[in-house]
Amino acid sequence: MAVYTAIAAAVLCWRKHGRAALWTVVVMSGASLTTFFLKGLLQRKRPVWPDPVTTLTSFSFPSGHSTGIAAAAGVVIVLAGLLVRRRGLRRALCTAAVLLALLVGLDRIFLGVHNPSDVLAGFAVGGFWVLGGLAAYDPAPKAKAREAFSTPVPTTRKLAVVLNPIKVEDVDAFKAMVDRAAAEAGWNEPVWFTTTVEDPGRSMAEQAAVAGAELVIVCGGDGTVRTVCAELAGTGVSVGVVPAGTGNLLARNLGIPLFLQAAVDVALNGQDRAIDLVKVSGDGIGDDEHYMVMAGMGFDAAVMEGANEKVKAKVGWLAYVVSALRNLMFPAVRVELSVDGGEWTRHRARTVLIGNVGYLQAGMPLLPDAAIDDGVLDVVLLHPSRFLSWIPLAVRILSKGRHTDDLVNRMTGKTISVRAGSDTPRQLDGDSIGSGRELHAECVHGKLLVRVPR
């Protein structure tokens, strides 16, 4: 349990959940120390059986195994409620934690090394430290206190929220949380807008800007965020991103927490950062289309298109892994590429990605030199010619190697144009936009203000 606690705390700290890490260490340590002192104080002997499976000479009350597993189960349940957004996964983790605790308790009784009262007392001690820890200290992420700041620029403190309702489990609870956080941060009562299938946020963002909103919070997946950001680009209205989708690549690359309440705190109390927007065009693409993160042709677009929505709802971005395995041998395509209006060069690639950011899910550094505010785009062409070629490709990407060749070829430029020899799947920020032969991307430098952590 000490090793597991240390690993859990380290992972939580790495994921920037310091409060949860501290709470976990205190709860687990407190439960262990309480058991140690109670055993020495009460000195209850172990039960004696005629034909024991095993015997122990240490004291019996309370059961240390039961205390440890009960505290650990409680920690898992609390952290799942705080940090796991999907209801199905939360329920699975909580159920597994409870069943494991019961199994350990029964194991101690059936081995003959503890009385039932020892096990129940251990459960009580573990539960006490979990509940007591929650009462004394909130492990949920907290925003940093806002620094006093005066500005000659007039502020309205008007707030609007664009919400994709299918991305949050309890809309009423989410609204109540945002209303409460806005009031505590000194904002006016939020004006709420809800997206629809027909309108993923464009008109809502326009209405918010026209109404004089100083800040627009958008809660949804990458598609909703892309639509709202594109509409508000150039208006001077700040955008607070509350990631509630599967990929959440913009939030990941800007350091915005994926925990909804913490993301709302950043949106309300963070600082503005001017980032680039990418204008995109091509056959079958409208004239006023933009993206924030990445556009792609080939394998990656086929992966996005093949990810099952029901699977995404249950396991999140792992659905893309399943789709990727099914599409590993997506056929290579002949493409021509032009950078900054220069000469067209010919290539073969399974996928072409034009990135405004550098990192994919799980921190994969696909374009390690890309920055969202550097005024240029980074393009990578990947061509694993055989099935086993994916292995050296993965090594090259994870090691952030700068060497370019036919396997991994990288370029940069303000404008990128790609022409394919045949109709090829395409995607913008994870949303499939259908097959086509052309993709033209132009970086619009510093066009959008996004709230990021201080």
Contact 86, 50 (CB under 8 A): no
Q: How many CB atoms lie within 10 A of CB 434?
A: 13
Alpha-carbon distances, residue 420 vs 293, 297, 381, 417 (angstroms): 21, 9, 12, 10
DSSP string, 176-231: HHHHHHHHHTTPPPPEEEE--SS-SSHHHHHHHHHTT-SEEEEEE-HHHHHHHHHH
CA 278 to CA 92: how far, in whole Å? Answer: 40
What single-letter DSSP state applies at residue 154?
A: -
What is the Cα 306 distance to its own chain's centre?
A: 21
Closest by alpha carbon to 291, among 240, 236, 357, 339? 357
The rounded radius of gyration (Å) of the Cα atoms in the chain is 26
Contact 167, 244 (CB under 8 A): yes
Catalytic option among 17, 114, 290, 383: 114
> Which residues does residue 419 pair with via DSSP β-bridges, in sequence order?
336, 438
Closest by alpha carbon to 438, among 354, 329, 324, 327? 354
CA 300 to CA 306: how far, in whole Å? Answer: 10
Residue 32 makes CB contacts below 8 A (sequence gap 6+) with 1, 2, 64, 67, 68, 71
Question: Among positive and negative, which fits the CA dihedral 357, 362, 363, 365?
Answer: negative
Alpha-carbon distances, residue 424 vs 295, 302, 307, 378 (angstroms): 13, 9, 17, 20
Active site residue 445: no
Active site residue 403: no
Contact 118, 15 (CB under 8 A): no
Count Cα neighbours of 99 within 13 Å in the Cβ-side half-sphere. 6
Catalytic option among 65, 290, 383, 440: 65
List residues with catalytic annotation: 65, 114
